[in-house]
Amino acid sequence: DTAVSQTPKYLVTQMGNDKSIKCEQNLGHDTMYWYKQDSKKFLKIMFSYNNKELIINETVPNRFSPKSPDKAHLNLHINSLELGDSAVYFCASSGGQGVYGYTFGSGTRLTVV
Amino acid sequence: GDSVTQMEGPVTLSEEAFLTINCTYTATGYPSLFWYVQYPGEGLQLLLKATKADDKGSNKGFEATYRKETTSFHLEKGSVQVSDSAVYFCALSDSDYKLSFGAGTTVTVRA
């Protein structure tokens, strides 16, 4: 059973389109996250939700809108996609404040053409 | 704010060589420290962790010790294999719902 699953694995789309990435965790964790990994492999947090409440919103363009319908799901919607949005997006979850570790999904490789 | 600095790569080794990847951190509190590994084309896997000073994390022959006095968490493995080729990330969590990563070190092991 996959602990943190995200779909789709690959996403190729044109500039200006709107797309969504979905994430689900079956670990019973309270907190979920979106991370962005750029072409140099650098990982940066985008959002964090705890029990459906947004608690971290880094300096991300407002074209990116996360939504958490329940604590097991965290989706990421991106409007008006730009070339610079091309990256790998990772969903993750943790118990509490994450001091014992985070579990990551396998990633969604987004390519904007 | 919290930050992690790890040695730049890439690192290329021969099989059975000794691997060390240096990692130092800056934190305001008492963070937990982690090493994550990313194999080619895959997601991030937790390799090992330490939650307090002097703790030693270990897994798959890798070890790292939480050194508060030097604010370090260096990763070591005594004898690497080709299958250890991956990107290794040092990270910290300071009870603030955020995992901060170092820049990653690419390790290539040649047969």
Q: What is the pLDDT of residues B77-107, one digit of tens each?
A: 999 999 999 999 999 998 778 889 999 999 9
For B52, the 3-state DSSP assignment is coil
Tokens encoding A1: 């059973």
Q: CB-based contacts of B102: which residues, under 8 Å, 6+ apart? A: B4, B5, B6, B23, B89, B90, B91
* C-beta of residue A100 within 8 angstroms of C-beta of residue B32: yes
* C-beta of residue A103 within 8 angstroms of C-beta of residue A24: no
Cross-chain Cβ contact A104/B43 below 8 Å: yes
Cross-chain Cβ contact A45/B98 below 8 Å: yes
> Is B11 within 8 Å of chain A by CB?
no
Which pLDDT tens digit goes with each residue over A81-107? 999 999 999 999 998 777 788 999 999
- Candidate from A10-14, B33-37, B83-87, B96-100 with smallest mean pLDDT: B96-100
